[in-house]
Amino acid sequence: MNSTLLLSTFDKIIRDWPYVVELFQKGEIAAALGITVWMVLLSVTFSYVLGLPVGIILYVTDKTGIKPNVVVNKILGVIVNIFRSIPFIILMVAFLPVAKSLVGKSYGNAAMVVMLVIGAAPYVARMVESSLKEVDKGVIEAAQSLGANTFQIIVKVLLPEARPSLMIGAIISTVTVIGYTAMAATIGGAGLGALAITQGHLRGHQAVIWTAVVLIVLIVQLIQEGGMWLVKKTDRRVRNENKRNKAQKNK
Amino acid sequence: MIEFVDVGKTFQSVSGPIVALRNVNLTIGDGEIFGIIGLSGAGKSTLVRCINFLEEPTEGRVIVDGEDLGQVGPKRLRQIRRNIGMIFQSFNLLEQRNVFDNVKFPLTLGRFDRKAADARVEELLTLVGLWDRRKSYPSQLSGGQKQRVAIARALATNPKYLLCDEATSALDPVATESVLSLLRHINETLGVTIVVITHEMHVIEKICTSVAVIADSEIKEVGKVADVFSDPKTRTAKELIMPDLVRYAGKKPGEIQFRLLFNGESSDMPLISALALETGVAVNIVYADTKNVDGKVFGRMVITLPAEKAENADKVTAFFDENHIKYVIETDDEDQSADDTTIAEVADDE
Ligand SMILES: Nc1ncnc2c1ncn2[C@@H]1O[C@H](COP(=O)(O)OP(=O)(O)O)[C@@H](O)[C@H]1O
Ligand SMILES: [Mg+2]
């Protein structure tokens, strides 16, 4: 990008600014923001409702897992891999009939949430599986030696011990889903991405595009930074005492 | 009582079958502190893990209190496991739970009254001396403290047995002492039968009543610690128990060699000077590995009487008998030739 082009972009944004203000006053920006946040929340929640059990089953039935089952593991693994290898934009058009059968429409926000879940759940499943794999095998053996059954090991050992890693996985999944929501416009959904495309791109209002971009970046930052702060704060492996001591020494 | 009957274990690996245990026959009596010593890879962990079926033998039977573990269902197995605590080299505590909740964990697996469980945790943490650290997380504890928490956790369900797989191998000497003392205390006061796996002979010496020597997936020798340590019969046992001794303390022709074993005798008497003063016989110390713990001696010593003084041997043995010191006179055995070659090699080096 040469400097004249850059200047003209800024120029356009400044000339467009009143339109952004107008959209803001009409409440359209807040509405788009609200829809994006709501869509992300719903999609991530449902992705975990599906992906968490699948991830657990993948881990448990692995040949080194606590209840190896080659058949179940292979079948689930192949399904997950197929879904993960389809690009999201293709997956969206391919699975419109599924959305229709589930939410009655093959367009709009509800259909978009279905698409997001189909796209993200397999991703979540693998993420959960790899988080569980990080749990020390010795701790699981200790639980077995104490007479824990498979269900108790999952609920009382695996999930709590993997918590920090699961939380990091949730942060990454959420950020990925935010990226996907921007494509909602292609099937008539709303949100910040749709705003940028319909009001910004199609009507030639650069300022709207950049406003949406800034808002999305802010949401991502908030989730990333806030999430990581929470992970560190709740991970008991972090030596809080040491941290305090160091902080005192540095003073 | 724990019984191994013709137990074998073969792992199937990508590079072919690996035999970890072969033809193991062993009986561990109630109330014992039973040591199993062997080098790394000998099959110790596999052996101890067969006792709670973390590892299923591929041959033979493991029988705990009359029940063949291979015959019971998964539910019964879990019940039996609650009667067999286990601690590990790497502690294996729940990192995201504090000390209190780690010890309480086994009590949340069955039907336990909550109040009774809390009381039990307090009792156990007091026993291992960590009640004041109950709110700490494992990452805030030292190795020795972590192992004590693990012991408390393993004892929560009041097990009859406690398995220790290299429980002190990751600890410094001070922490090792404290954990070993705690294990002995548990054995003495609660009557828990303890199985101790280790590659360090001082661990066996300090707390065990009986010992099994394992090498190349086989039990080579079993017996009371005092017997096996003072007079190891097999070459494997000798190498394990007195590695330096086998290599360097070979006896010259005509020389008379005494192997002494100290297993908690009083250390008040300066032994070698007393021997010299009382019998007028001077001996050479060719090997000594003794430790003084609370005024008691543990360890081994090898002394020799030169060939020209051999006639004084009776005086020396009389002195040992009088002072209740266990000794073995080195005799020529099937290992002698092997020892001779080793000596020759050493001599060549000089
Ligand atoms: N899960 C396993 N799969 C394959 N081989 C194993 C497994 N566990 C142990 N082994 C092998 O069995 C032998 C004995 O191991 P182990 O019982 O851990 O010995 P130790 O505890 O005495 O060091 C070793 O050769 C080891 O490599
Ligand atoms: Mg081992």
What atom of ligand 1 comes closest to residue B18's alpha carbon? 5
**A238 CA: distance to closest CA in chain B (Å):** 7
One digit per residue, the tens of pLDDT, for chain A of length 251 reads: 567 777 777 888 888 888 888 888 898 899 999 999 999 999 999 999 999 999 999 999 999 999 999 999 999 999 999 999 999 889 888 888 999 999 898 888 899 999 999 999 999 999 999 999 999 999 999 999 999 999 999 999 999 999 999 999 999 999 999 999 988 778 888 888 888 888 888 888 888 999 999 999 999 999 999 999 999 999 998 755 454 444 444 44
Residue of B nearest to A140 (CA): B92
- Predicted TM-score (pTM) of this structure: 0.83
Token digits for B302?
């090898």
Rounded Cα gap, residues B244 and B288, in angstroms: 10
CATH of domain A2-244: 1.10.3720.10
Pairing between strand B326-329 and B256-266?
antiparallel
**A139 CA: distance to closest CA in chain B (Å):** 5
Rounded Cα gap, residues B102 and B81, in angstroms: 17
What value of ipTM does the predicted structure carry? Answer: 0.87
pLDDT at B258: 83
Q: Percentage of residues in chain B with pLDDT exceeding 70?
A: 89
Residue B333 in this model has a pLDDT that exceeds 60: no
Pocket test for ligand 1, best of B10, B11, B163 (most atoms within 8 A of CB): B11
pLDDT tens figures, A47-67: 999 999 999 999 999 999 999
Chain B hits for A136, CB-CB cut-off 8 Å, are 90, 92, 95
Ligand 1 and B215: CB distance under 6 A: no
Rounded Cα gap, residues A211 and A191, in angstroms: 13
Q: Do the beta carbons of residue B307 and residue B251 sit within 8 Å?
A: no
Most B CBs within 10 A among A145, A156, A165, A232, hence the mutation to make, goes to: A145
Confidence at B131, pLDDT banded by 50, 70, 90: very high
Q: How many CB atoms lie within 10 A of CB B331?
A: 8
**B57 CA: distance to closest CA in chain A (Å):** 16
Residue B321 in this model has a pLDDT that exceeds 90: no
The radius of gyration of chain B from alpha carbons, rounded to an integer in Å, stands at 23
pLDDT at B251: 67
pLDDT tens figures, B25-84: 999 999 999 999 999 999 999 999 999 999 999 999 999 999 999 999 999 999 999 999
Confidence at B346, pLDDT banded by 50, 70, 90: very low
Rounded Cα gap, residues B286 and B273, in angstroms: 15
The number of residues in chain A equals 251
